[in-house]
Amino acid sequence: MFVEAIGVFIALGVTGCIGAYKSIELIRRLQQDGHEVQTVLTRHGAEFVTPLVLETISRHPVITDMFQRAGQWEVEHIALARRSQVLCVAPATANILAKFAHGIADDFLTTLYLSNRNPVVIAPAMNTAMWEHPATRRNLDILQERGVTLVTPGSGYLACGEEGAGRLADLEQIAEAIYTVTTPPSLKGRTVLVTAGPTAEDIDPVRFLSNRSSGRMGFALARAAARRGARTLLISGPVPGSPLRAGECRPVRSADEMAAAVLDWAPQADVVIMAAAVADYRPRQTSATKIKKKEGDTVLELVRTPDILMQLKSIRRPTQVVVGFAAETDELVANARRKMERKGTDLMVANRVGADVGFGDNPTAFTLFRPNAEPRQIEGQSKEAAAAVILDEVERLLAGDAAPTPLSE
């Protein structure tokens, strides 16, 4: 059984401000995506969150002492700089920004920064006046000139009681910045179109036909493509929240709207990934007013919606890679192969769905199909890991690799 590992080792610096408590949830978020986190807590950071809490969450001893040793011979800050693949400081105070900018190394975190040759992500958090001060702005300029990735703070109500910029950025943005700097830009110069989520086919102003799709797989694919440097186009059916912070997103509701959006954007794309769960049928007529309950049964007449993959087949370029998805309750292999052949996809991603399995599952399981090749089963993956496996296969197709990836145990 093939299992893809995408985890990275992250050194997380936590400094002294009220936003330090959010580092606990950030660690959890990173762990859920399969990553390992080693926390470095400054003396002032320990006033806001204790080492014991961070150790319990991260499952690693928290580094607080400049002279802690990793072993009998290793110097700890050098050892951590070698072991980690990215240094993230969240929250980063104005004080730590100044020290980083001017090369001051008077504690473990600042010494680690000077020893580090890996990507650096900083997520500042501070009072609005401190954030806007010319000294802070200059320090940020210096750090960004050196290649440090800045996750800009948000605006809102601050702990000091003021309203303004300076609150720690959303954890989703911080995690996305970490993943981006640790991902090679292997799709740079490419355009990837992804569809995600369900469609909703209105019956009347209060009722509609839809399905259980959460959109999470499509959103993970769009994020993963953006991390790899692609221009990312996302067409999203109706789902709660904001699915994509990088790239271009077009919200749609019905299958007709999704078809129009795909046909509009597809000519620009090198890769089209049809991960959306598009309704096969819609009501023949949509009532302008709520249909009232009455005695006896009501017949709802349904008509076919556009077959977007078949429409795409007729206009696609020879070099364009098209990926389809198949949600099946039975005969998964036979049904997925038939769909791949009929709709001319280069790759088909099939998963089993039912009352207690399928849409929204995390970890997820699926099977990859390529023409004239044995199916490749993927088990026990997070959505992020699954997206990485699928995009790796897409990259092989873009490179002209006609041979499928060998099965791995």
Task: Please list the rounded mean pLDDT of every run of 10 residues in the chain (409 residues).
Answer: 56 94 94 89 94 92 73 56 88 97 94 93 94 96 96 80 82 92 93 96 94 90 93 92 68 96 96 95 94 88 94 91 89 88 92 64 79 83 85 93 45
Collect all residues with Cβ–Cβ distance below 8 Å to 145 and sequence separation of at least 6: none
pLDDT at 157: 67
Contact residues for 400 (Cβ-Cβ < 8 A; gap 6+): none
Residue 17 falls in the annotated catalytic set: no
Q: Helix, strand or coil for residue 180? A: helix
Topology agreement, domain 9-181 and domain 191-398: yes
Q: Check residue 155 and give its pLDDT.
A: 80
Exposed, middle or buried, 34 (CB in 10 Å: 0-12/13-18/19+)?
A: middle
Query: For residue 48, what are the contacts with CB-CB under 8 A and spacing of at least 6?
Result: 16, 17, 18, 20, 21
Catalytic residue among 17, 88, 160, 249: 160
Residues in the chain: 409
Q: How far is CA 148 from CA 64, 118, 128, 178, 188, in A?
A: 23, 10, 22, 11, 20
Q: State residue 107's pLDDT score.
A: 92
262 membership: H or E segment, kind and range: helix 255-265
pLDDT for residue 345: 94
Of 327, 383, 386, residue with least CA distance to 354: 327
pLDDT computed for residue 355 by the predictor? 52
Assigned fold of 191-398: Rossmann fold (3.40.50)
Give the per-residue pLDDT at 354.
61
CA–centroid distance for 360 within its chain: 14
Structure tokens that stand for 380 in this block: 């026990």
Per domain, the residue ranges of the chain are 9-181, 191-398
pLDDT one-digit tens code per residue, 353-383: 765 555 665 667 888 999 888 888 888 777 8
At 27, list the tokens. Answer: 């660690």
Among the CATH numbers 3.40.1440.60, 3.40.50.300, 3.40.50.800, 3.40.50.1950, which is that of 9-181? 3.40.50.1950
**How far apart are the C-alpha atoms of 23 and 35, rounded to whole Å?**
15
Q: Which two tokens stand for residue 162?
A: 């003021």
